[in-house]
Structure 1
Amino acid sequence: MTEPTSSVSPSDHEDSQSTEGISKNPSGSEPTVVKPPGARVPYPERETLVLGLPLSPSSHKGAIGRLGEYDVLNHIGRGGMGLVVRAFDGQLHRNVAIKVMSPDLLASDSARERFFREARAAAGISHPNVVTIHAVSQAFGKPFLVMEFIDGKTLHARIKDDAPLKVVDLLRISSQVAQGLAAAHRHGVIHRDIKPANILLEDGIERVKISDFGLARLAMERSDLTSLGNVVGTPSFMSPEQVEGKDLDHRSDLFSLGCVMYAMVVGQSPFRANNAIATGRRVVSERHPSIADAGGKLPRELADVIDRLLEKNPEDRFQTADEVADLLTRYLARENQKPSTGDDSTRALPQKYGPQKSRWSLVLGAVVVATAALLAVMFGPKTSQKGTEPTFEQADSSNSPGGVAATVHNGPTGNSFLSDGVLTVAADGSAEYTDITTALHAARPGIRISITDSSTYKGPLLISGPHVQNITIEAPQGAALMADDHQSVIRVLNTAHLVISGFRIDTDVFQHAVEAMGACPGMHVHDCQFHSLKPRDSPIAVVYLHDGFAGTPEDPVRLEKLDIRCGGVGIVVGGAEDTACAQSLRIDNCRIQGTTDYGIPIVMQAKVADIGIRRNLMTTGTTGVSVAIEMAENCQDIVIAENTFHNLATPLMLALPPDVSTFRIRSNLFVAADRVTTATGSVYDYANWFDGNWWEPGFDCDDAQAALIATVKPSLPFVSRDPDRKEFLVPEATGADQMPGHLMATPEVSSADEAR
Structure 2
Amino acid sequence: MMLQIGDQFDRFQIRTHMAQGGMADIYRAYDLTSGKEVVLKIPNRMMIGDPAQYERFQRELAVMNELHHPSIQTGLGSGQFNRTPYLVTEFVDGQSMRDVVSQQAPMPPEQAVALIHKIADGMAYCHDHDVIHRDLKPENILITNANQPVIIDFGLALTKEARRVTYANLTPSAGTPDYMSPEQIEGQRGDKRTDIYAVGTMLYELLAGHVPFAGDNYQVVMQQHLQAAIPRLDEDKPGIPPQIAAVVTRCLQRNPDDRYPDMRALISDLDHLDAVDTSILQKGTGAATAVPFWRSPTFRTVAVSILVLLAIVVLAVAAQGLRK
Normalising by the residue count of structure 1, what TM-score does the alignment of the two structures yield?
A: 0.36
Secondary structure, counterpart of 1:106 in structure 2:
helix
Matches within 5 A, 1:406-417: none
Distance across 2 between alignment mates of 1:293 and 1:326: 24
How far has the Cα of 1:292 moved from its partner?
3.6
Deviations, residues 305-361 of structure 1 (Å, cap 9, x unaligned): 000000000000001112212332x24xxxxxxxxxxxxxxxxx53x3x23x7xxx6
The amino acid across from 1:208 in the alignment is: P
Of the three residues 82, 95, 99, the one matched with 1:157 is: 99
2:257 aligned with 1:315, yes or no? yes
Native 8 Å contact 1:265 1:296 kept in 2: no
Equivalent residue number for residue 250 of structure 1: 192
Deviations, residues 684-709 of structure 1 (Å, cap 9, x unaligned): xxxxxxxxxxxxxxxxxxxxxxxxxx
Equivalent residue number for residue 147 of structure 1: 89
2:92 aligned with 1:211, yes or no? no
Equivalent residue number for residue 111 of structure 2: 169
Unaligned runs of 5+ in 2: 285-324
Distance across 2 between alignment mates of 1:214 and 1:111: 9
Native 8 Å contact 1:84 1:99 kept in 2: yes
Mark the CA change 1:228 to 1:195 in structure 2 (over 3 Å): closer, same or farther: closer
How far has the Cα of 1:196 moved from its partner?
1.2
Distance across 2 between alignment mates of 1:271 and 1:220: 33
What is the identity percentage for the equivalent residue pairs of Structure 1 and Structure 2? 29
2:102 aligned with 1:221, yes or no? no
Distance across 2 between alignment mates of 1:211 and 1:79: 15
Secondary structure, counterpart of 1:213 in structure 2:
coil
How far has the Cα of 1:65 moved from its partner?
0.5
Distance across 2 between alignment mates of 1:300 and 1:293: 9
Distance across 2 between alignment mates of 1:211 and 1:193: 10
Select between 233-242 and 281-290 the one with higher mean Cα deviation: 281-290
| Total equivalences in the alignment | 283
The amino acid across from 2:123 in the alignment is: L
The amino acid across from 1:90 in the alignment is: L
Task: Please say which structure displays the higher CA radius of gyration.
Answer: 1
Secondary structure, counterpart of 2:8 in structure 1:
strand
Structure with larger RCO (C-alpha < 8 A, sep 6+): 2
Unaligned runs of 5+ in 1: 1-51, 56-62, 332-348, 362-397, 404-756
Distance across 1 between alignment mates of 2:219 and 2:27: 32
How far has the Cα of 1:108 moved from its partner?
2.4
2:233 aligned with 1:233, yes or no? no
Alignment RMSD: 2.3
Secondary structure, counterpart of 1:287 in structure 2:
coil
Distance across 2 between alignment mates of 1:235 and 1:229: 15
How far has the Cα of 1:141 moved from its partner?
2.0
The structure with the greater share of residues assigned to strand is 1
Equivalent residue number for residue 82 of structure 1: 24
Native 8 Å contact 2:213 2:224 kept in 1: yes
The amino acid across from 1:217 in the alignment is: L
Distance across 1 between alignment mates of 2:224 and 2:160: 26
Distance across 2 between alignment mates of 1:137 and 1:73: 19
Mark the CA change 1:125 to 1:88 in structure 2 (over 3 Å): closer, same or farther: same
Distance across 2 between alignment mates of 1:168 and 1:213: 28
Distance across 2 between alignment mates of 1:402 and 1:228: 35
Deviations, residues 559-583 of structure 1 (Å, cap 9, x unaligned): xxxxxxxxxxxxxxxxxxxxxxxxx
Normalising by the residue count of structure 2, what TM-score does the alignment of the two structures yield?
A: 0.80
Matches within 5 A, 1:128-147: 128-147=70-89
Equivalent residue number for residue 225 of structure 2: 283
Secondary structure, counterpart of 1:124 in structure 2:
coil
Native 8 Å contact 1:229 1:245 kept in 2: no
Equivalent residue number for residue 706 of structure 1: none
Distance across 2 between alignment mates of 1:241 and 1:207: 30
Equivalent residue number for residue 548 of structure 1: none
The amino acid across from 1:237 in the alignment is: Y
Equivalent residue number for residue 282 of structure 2: 401
Distance across 1 between alignment mates of 2:56 and 2:183: 22
How far has the Cα of 1:127 moved from its partner?
0.8
